[in-house]
Structure 1
């Protein structure tokens, strides 16, 4: 059985050993989480109204994305003009068959891991869309959303490195989008007390863990 090792806790420390692309979606932003994820990412994008969220929380105006993209039914005109004036690629895409998030993902090279800042809170349709993409896209995708860090574990064995400086004590294994799964775990004792968690599953399941506050 092939084992996948997950070392992505570096995202919560502002470090990177691989190529990450950060996509800011139109949901509330936790400032310390933004700072760490921004440092880890090589490419930064805002999905339409995500540009509003980034601009409003960026009091020092130190965060400039590489790309702002969407159908632009949410971005404010002044913010669109601001990022344009700062030489950010501002791309309007009116395609009605793709969401703003999908439009941004299309801009990211296939060999980059995707990091979504937001996507599991707020509107129910947006949350379901995020979870659907985790299943449909055979790419490495992580979701950082307020209190939770989540990604999909596909069939097989997974070794997850736990960083107790950034991750809290609670975690979850969720059979989202499937009727059932046979799951075997090692390293869990109600909460995550160990530095390594091993999970074997015969169906895709979502793994979530708590993000400490503050980071």
Structure 2
């Protein structure tokens, strides 16, 4: 998954894959415009517990227009007036009392349930404000959640995205006009025996990667490149800068 899916939604193109967005409990600063632009093109909008407060506070006079389909989590963060407002507007409130999973994982599990039961059809998930700088333990928890769903979603901040690349070959479109240029490949799940890339300023050629030896941060997408290809024997975290906040 890449910025191509988001671009298709923004430009109201007919796209064959449906999109869900999840709003986390972190500031939406820089992403409010994107949320508004992409809202009507989404199959499903889910707030992760206190993410409901963030949506409520950000939308202000537009609250009636931007009502999430689902609020999901252990509900220890959502304010009473917020849950009451969205309940009255038709949001489905799903409480999951499980302290071994994050609210984001709870949302992923619920989206998977809705998919498996045919209630919705979601091919891709974009998580708003999940990679924004804040509590580092929460960022790591959000990254861990990517490992717990079959098709890894995108985590967005106001200036970058994060997703997982499982073992195999990957072709990442980078010619949407939304890319900033900076990128990185990180062996987040442990040592990877071999990584080969194209489309980067500093490509890898069957290189081994691990923390304490080689990781690829502060890399750059080649100007004019249409795609970045990655062939990896292990799971990598892919991150790249974007211009979505300019919207």
Q: Which residue of 2 aligns with 1:64?
A: 67
Q: Separation in 2 of the partners of 1:47 and 1:96?
A: 14
Deviations 1:120-176 (A, max 9, x none): 232222111121122243223111122112211111111111134211111111111
Q: Separation in 2 of the partners of 1:209 and 1:63?
A: 28
Q: Whose radius of gyration is greater, 1 or 2? A: 2
Q: Separation in 2 of the partners of 1:211 and 1:17?
A: 23
Closer, same or farther in 2 for the Cα pair 1:136/1:67, shift >3 Å? closer
Deviation at 1:56, TM superposition (A): 0.8
Between Structure 1 and Structure 2, how many residues are aligned? 210
- What RMSD in Å do the two structures reach over aligned CA positions? 2.0
Aligned pairs (5 A) from 1:74-85: 74-85=77-88
Q: Separation in 2 of the partners of 1:176 and 1:144?
A: 17
Q: Does the Cα contact within 8 Å between 1:48 and 1:73 map onto a contact in 2?
A: yes
Match of 1:133, SS state, is helix
Deviation at 1:21, TM superposition (A): 1.7
Deviation at 1:38, TM superposition (A): 2.6
**Aligned partner of 2:137 among 105, 125, 134:** 125
| TM-score when normalising by structure 1 | 0.88
Structure 1: runs of 5 or more not aligned? 1-5
Q: Does the Cα contact within 8 Å between 1:11 and 1:40 map onto a contact in 2?
A: no
Deviation at 1:115, TM superposition (A): 1.7
Runs of at least 4 residues of structure 1 off by over 3 A? none
Q: Does the Cα contact within 8 Å between 2:165 and 2:236 map onto a contact in 1?
A: yes
Structure 2: runs of 5 or more not aligned? 202-218
Q: Separation in 1 of the partners of 2:145 and 2:72?
A: 18
Q: Which residue of 2 aligns with 1:91?
A: 94
Q: Which residue of 1 aligns with 2:220?
A: 191
